[in-house]
Chain A
Amino acid sequence: MRKTFVAAVAALAMTAGPAGAQEKVVKIGVPLPLTGAEAKFGEMEKQAYEMAAEEINAKGGVKGHKLSFDIQDSGGKAETATAIVEKFVSINKYPFVVGEYSSQCSYSVAAVAEKYKVPYLVVTGAADKITQQGWKYVFRLNPPSSLYNMGVFSFFETVAKPKSIAILYENTDFGNSTSKAMKEYCKAKGINIVLDEGYQAGAVDFKPILQKVKSLRPDIVYMVSYLMDASLLMRQSKELDINPQAFIGGGAGHTLPEFLQNAAEASEYCMSATLWTPQVKYPGAKEFFDKFKAKFGKEPDYHGVEAYAAAYVTADTLKRAKEWTAEAIRTALAATNMMTAFGPIKFIAWDQFTNQNRMETLVLQVQKKKYETIWPKDAASAKYVYPVPRWRDRK
């Protein structure tokens, strides 16, 4: 009796021993909006981080450690995101912070990271100012919002050649920053800006302002919208029979799979700036899209792939860092030069930007209820339709 007991204890100790030794984990802090109005994006990114971590760990993890993302809910509020990062740095002692979603939150987190001298990788926050502060510890994976329009600009110059434009944008860091780039471009090129209006997100009825757009008859209606405002703007434009040469979105809201469902036929032929589509030719892009869709039953948009790429950049940085301290990780992160499913990642400085990744941006168009890449030509999956048919002439 006693013998079997001793044997059992010994067996237990033996199995527990090596298993415990193997379970070395390296944790990275990630604040994300898992509740509140931005929760949809937070959820998508969380799934992408976890999917990437699984893949990385299946291939042996990082230097014998399991990579784990400690994802905490910020509710999309800058104060909460700041508090979470303070906790990450001072209590959890994480040497590296990644993530957040909106520009507001990313900007607040960046300020905290800089203060504590902890490297922070911005993944989706796009307002230009985040990497224009000369901050040493803040790096950005996504291009700044003023570059979101690069594809659209080249489309304007080669194909559209518009004479007038109406600009509607959400009154947020992202909306202001993206629309400002468009305004500066139009002024430089002599495109007449007939309307320039910021709006409060989540409005029920855009018809009053759209009525004004209609009366001004611009060639292009350009919109920067998060969330579902994009669908409402398109639905109500169709309702009011507004017929510019093209509707163009500035990314975000106009690139979501939900946009196609909610705006339904009103989304047809709508164009948008975008950073990524599953049709890009980067290695792993299509695989990511298919795997994500199969695993979670939902299509990811560019926010998902940004998070996925961020996880790989994190793993790569940790592998190259001499030791896992904030300083060493910062040095390794600055030297990043790798290819991801999102595109090539390298942090460089130009103009006022520092530690900023730079990449080509695309234009997509909804054709037959699907997103097709239409610009630049060499990345296109379908030919553009421009000018778009009038609402009444369709079908």
Chain B
Amino acid sequence: MTPQLAGQIELFLQVVIAGILLGGLYSLIGLGMSLIMGVMRIINLAHGELMMVAMYITYLAFSLVHVDPYVSLFIVLPALFLIGAGLQKYLITPVMDVESVLPQNQVLLTVGIGIVLSNLAQLIFSADYMSVPVSYASKTIYWDVNVGGQTISLSFNFPFLVAFAIAIGLGAALFLFLGKTDIGRMIRATAQDKRAAAIMGINTKRITYITFGLGAALVGAAGTLLAPVYYIYPAIGGPFTSKAFIITVLGGMGNIAGAVLGGLVLGLGESLGSVYISLGYKDAFGFVIFVLVLIFLPKGLLGKSSV
């Protein structure tokens, strides 16, 4: 094999690795939105802003008391769960009960929540860019493979690898939770038929609080995992809300396994597209995939089986 070909193979494999690792994080962002979509039938447009809140909590924990971002997951997950459940209980549920001209006014409400959150963040933290400068932010693990007499050196970024592992772990935990526990079954029942679930004695309102809390905690985890490799500012939520939306639609609205797949497809599509087509259209690839899926697979990659 010629060195040129080996170089091309190395580039391709490296790009695929980067795409999959990034896709793991995207999956985590999409999972929360998909879960909320599956149960409440609303798109939570404050999703990215909830992630931003989690990132600031991680930042505070790191800069004030030197808590490692991965350890701060234990603070972020419960905190975001409470914030999410609180938002559902005190803001979204009351609006859902009101008869209104616009059938989707809860969605508008989530937009408003997002705006309030990002403005609050600017008020408290100012518009400065902040980062969580951990010592291992650019730590990289190298793996040399011998292919046809040529050495191909593949690199794995440590924080991305950890984020991927934790994302997979949380995804698996969510599956187990929904499949094996009573509350998980109640969530699935509520998603399938809210009225029937209520007749069966399920407190569906409480289930919606828990679901929103879970969704917020999942995207919060994504924010914490992203903090060491990215940066934080008050308006960071917007682009991630639209990524989550693409993933949710890609996977089939409200399909949990689909969200994981959707995240990976988006991550891979972005990184392959940016090298082999053009980096300038990185965000466009997501939308192109999105439109293609809407046209040819209107039920998403895995079809619309709910939660």
A228–B129 CB distance below 8 A: yes
B14, B18, B127: the one within 8 Å of A42 (CB): B127
Within 8 Å of chain A (Cβ to Cβ): is B271? yes
B138, B155, B160, B281: the one within 8 Å of A266 (CB): B138
Q: Note all chain A residues with C-beta closer than 8 A to B157.
A: 207, 239
B127–A43 CB distance below 8 A: yes
CB-CB contacts below 8 Å: A249-274 with B: 258, 261-262, 264, 266
Q: Note all chain B residues with C-beta closer than 8 A to A236.
A: 138
Within 8 Å of chain A (Cβ to Cβ): is B22? yes
B234, B275, B281: the one within 8 Å of A212 (CB): B275
What residues of chain B have their CB less than 8 Å away from a CB belonging to chain A?
Answer: 7, 10-11, 14-15, 18-19, 22, 25, 118-119, 122, 126-129, 131, 133, 137-138, 140, 155, 157, 160, 226, 229-231, 233-235, 239, 270-272, 274-275, 278-283
The minimal Cβ–Cβ distance linking B70 to chain A, given in whole angstroms, is: 18
B127, B155, B239, B280: the one within 8 Å of A197 (CB): B280
Of A110-118, A153-161, A198-206, A366-374, which stretch is located at the interface? A198-206
B18–A197 CB distance below 8 A: no
The minimal Cβ–Cβ distance linking A80 to chain B, given in whole angstroms, is: 14
The minimal Cβ–Cβ distance linking B57 to chain A, given in whole angstroms, is: 19
Q: How far is the CA of A34 from the CA of B235 in the complex (A)?
A: 11
Residue total for A at the interface (Cβ-Cβ under 8 A): 39
Q: Note all chain B residues with C-beta closer than 8 A to A235.
A: 137-138
B282–A239 CB distance below 8 A: no
The minimal Cβ–Cβ distance linking B163 to chain A, given in whole angstroms, is: 11
- Known contacts A205-B271, A208-B19, A208-B274; A262 and B131 CB within 8 A of each other: yes
Q: Beta-carbon contacts of A197-231 to B below 8 Å, as 1s and 0s? A: 11110111101110110010000000000011001
Residue of A at shortest CB range from B25?
A204
B11, B118, B280: the one within 8 Å of A200 (CB): B280
Q: How far is the CA of A160 from the CA of B122 in the complex (A)?
A: 43
A215–B127 CB distance below 8 A: no
The minimal Cβ–Cβ distance linking A217 to chain B, given in whole angstroms, is: 11
- Known contacts A39-B235, A198-B280; A211 and B129 CB within 8 A of each other: no
Within 8 Å of chain B (Cβ to Cβ): is A232? yes
A-B contact sample (9 more), CB < 8 A, given A197-B278, A200-B279, A232-B231: A34-B127, A39-B122, A39-B127, A198-B278, A200-B283, A202-B239, A211-B275, A227-B129, A235-B137
The 8 closest A-B pairs by CB, nearest first: A39-B127, A198-B280, A199-B279, A239-B138, A208-B271, A228-B231, A208-B15, A171-B280
- Known contacts A39-B235, A208-B15, A239-B140; A264 and B133 CB within 8 A of each other: yes
Q: How far is the CA of A164 from the CA of B67 in the complex (A)?
A: 44
Within 8 Å of chain B (Cβ to Cβ): is A11? no
B138–A262 CB distance below 8 A: no
- Known contacts A207-B157, A231-B131, A239-B140; A212 and B231 CB within 8 A of each other: no
B271–A40 CB distance below 8 A: no
The minimal Cβ–Cβ distance linking B284 to chain A, given in whole angstroms, is: 8
Sample 17 A-B pairs with CB under 8 A, ordered by A number: A37-B235, A39-B122, A42-B127, A43-B127, A198-B280, A199-B280, A204-B22, A204-B230, A208-B14, A211-B14, A227-B129, A228-B231, A232-B230, A239-B140, A240-B140, A240-B155, A264-B133
Q: How far is the CA of A40 from the CA of B236 in the complex (A)?
A: 13
Residue of A at shortest CB range from B119?
A35
Q: How far is the CA of A35 from the CA of B126 in the complex (A)?
A: 10
Q: How far is the CA of A231 from the CA of B137 in the complex (A)?
A: 12
The minimal Cβ–Cβ distance linking A237 to chain B, given in whole angstroms, is: 9
CB-CB contacts below 8 Å: A305-330 with B: none
Q: Note all chain B residues with C-beta closer than 8 A to A197.
A: 278-280
Q: Note all chain A residues with C-beta closer than 8 A to B127.
A: 34-35, 39-40, 42-43
Within 8 Å of chain B (Cβ to Cβ): is A136? no
Q: Note all chain B residues with C-beta closer than 8 A to A43.
A: 126-127
Residue of A at shortest CB range from B234?
A39
Q: How far is the CA of A262 from the CA of B126 in the complex (A)?
A: 17
Q: Note all chain A residues with C-beta closer than 8 A to B138.
A: 235-236, 238-239, 266
Q: How far is the CA of A223 from the CA of B127 in the complex (A)?
A: 24
Residue of B at shortest CB range from A176?
B280
The minimal Cβ–Cβ distance linking B106 to chain A, given in whole angstroms, is: 25
Residue of A at shortest CB range from B231?
A228
Q: How far is the CA of A231 from the CA of B131 in the complex (A)?
A: 10
Q: How far is the CA of A211 from the CA of B155 in the complex (A)?
A: 10
Q: How far is the CA of A254 from the CA of B197 in the complex (A)?
A: 57
Q: Note all chain B residues with C-beta closer than 8 A to A202.
A: 239
Q: Note all chain A residues with C-beta closer than 8 A to B278.
A: 197-198
Q: Beta-carbon contacts of A29-45 to B below 8 Å, as 1s and 0s? A: 00000111101101100
Q: How far is the CA of A197 from the CA of B128 in the complex (A)?
A: 28
- Known contacts A197-B280, A239-B157; A204 and B126 CB within 8 A of each other: no
Q: How far is the CA of A286 from the CA of B246 in the complex (A)?
A: 49
A200–B282 CB distance below 8 A: yes
Q: Note all chain A residues with C-beta closer than 8 A to B126.
A: 40, 43
A37–B233 CB distance below 8 A: yes
B129–A40 CB distance below 8 A: yes
Q: Beta-carbon contacts of A152-183 to B below 8 Å, as 1s and 0s? A: 00000000000000001001000000000000
B11–A215 CB distance below 8 A: yes
B15–A211 CB distance below 8 A: yes
A208–B280 CB distance below 8 A: no
- Known contacts A36-B235, A37-B233; A205 and B18 CB within 8 A of each other: yes
A35, A209, A262: the one within 8 Å of B235 (CB): A35
B231–A208 CB distance below 8 A: no
A199–B274 CB distance below 8 A: yes
Q: Note all chain A residues with C-beta closer than 8 A to B22.
A: 204-205
A208–B7 CB distance below 8 A: no
Q: How far is the CA of A142 from the CA of B235 in the complex (A)?
A: 27
Q: How far is the CA of A37 from the CA of B157 in the complex (A)?
A: 27
Q: Note all chain A residues with C-beta closer than 8 A to B129.
A: 40, 227-228, 258, 262
Q: Note all chain A residues with C-beta closer than 8 A to B155.
A: 239-240
Q: Note all chain B residues with C-beta closer than 8 A to A198.
A: 278-280
Q: How far is the CA of A239 from the CA of B229 in the complex (A)?
A: 12
CB-CB contacts below 8 Å: A12-44 with B: 34-37, 39-40, 42-43
